[in-house]
Amino acid sequence: MSTLLVLLGCQAGFADPSREFGAPVLEGERFPTEVHTPTTLGVVDTPVTDVHGTPVGVACATCHGPDAATAWASRPGEPFHTGVELHHGPITCASCHDPDDRTKLRLADGTGLDLADAMTLCAQCHGPQFRDYTHGSHGGMAGYWDTRRGPRTRNHCVDCHAPHAPAYAPVVPAAPANDRTPLEDSHG
């Protein structure tokens, strides 16, 4: 009986007719969606620290590639940043790095890629995740949902996944709440 009354009530429409329809959605100009590129992409930490104790970064091209200003990279056996441990499926270093120019990444067809374009490299092997990313269901976003009102920022794959060990550590369940009045008692 009460359901019937509600249905009858609806038929009468809104008490305030001006509220019956929302404001029309106007197609206007849209603000850009920008992918955040970490400024540390293509920069390696050195043992040198600044006044705040933060490691000083140096660009790959300082030591590698045709324009390298130093002879660092031609010193075989030099311990600097070697011994990278890879935990990324069965792939090898050369699946991602160009062995002839270490300032570059490379795709499977040999095309060189700047480190800043690492997302194209990830997308090559992770099609489903990249598709989800472009649809907005992987990788998160910040800023405006409605880009007619303001800009939006997307995260880069390597903001979240370290390229050499991309898996997230397993989540440890939190300890149960230390409640002074357990649920069963609170009803008693």
13 sits in the region (left: phi over 0; alpha: psi -120 to 50; else beta) called left
E strands present in 2-118:
33-35, 43-49, 55-59, 104-106, 112-114
From candidates 32, 89, 173, 182, binder to ligand HEC by CB under 6 A = 89
Q: Does 111 bind ligand HEC (CB under 6 A)?
A: no
Gap between the Cα atoms of 170 and 166, Å rounded: 12
Binding mask 44-73 for ligand HEC (x = CB under 6 A): x-------------x-x-xxx-------xx
Q: Does 81 bind ligand HEC (CB under 6 A)?
A: yes
Q: Does 106 bind ligand HEC (CB under 6 A)?
A: no
Helix (DSSP H) and strand (DSSP E) numbers for the chain: 5, 7
Gap between the Cα atoms of 90 and 125, Å rounded: 12
Interface positions, 140-159, toward ligand HEC (CB under 6 A): 140, 155, 157-159
Nearer to ligand HEC, 82 or 186 (CB): 82
CA 180 → CA 104, 174, 177, distances in Å?
58, 18, 9
Shortest distance (Å) from residue 145 CB to ligand HEC: 16
Shortest distance (Å) from residue 107 CB to ligand HEC: 8
Task: Give 175's DSSP letter.
Answer: P
Residues that bind ligand HEC (CB under 6 A): 40-44, 58, 60, 62-64, 72-73, 75-76, 78, 80-82, 84, 86, 88-91, 93, 95-97, 102, 115, 118-119, 121-122, 124-126, 129-130, 133, 138-140, 155, 157-161, 163-164, 166-168
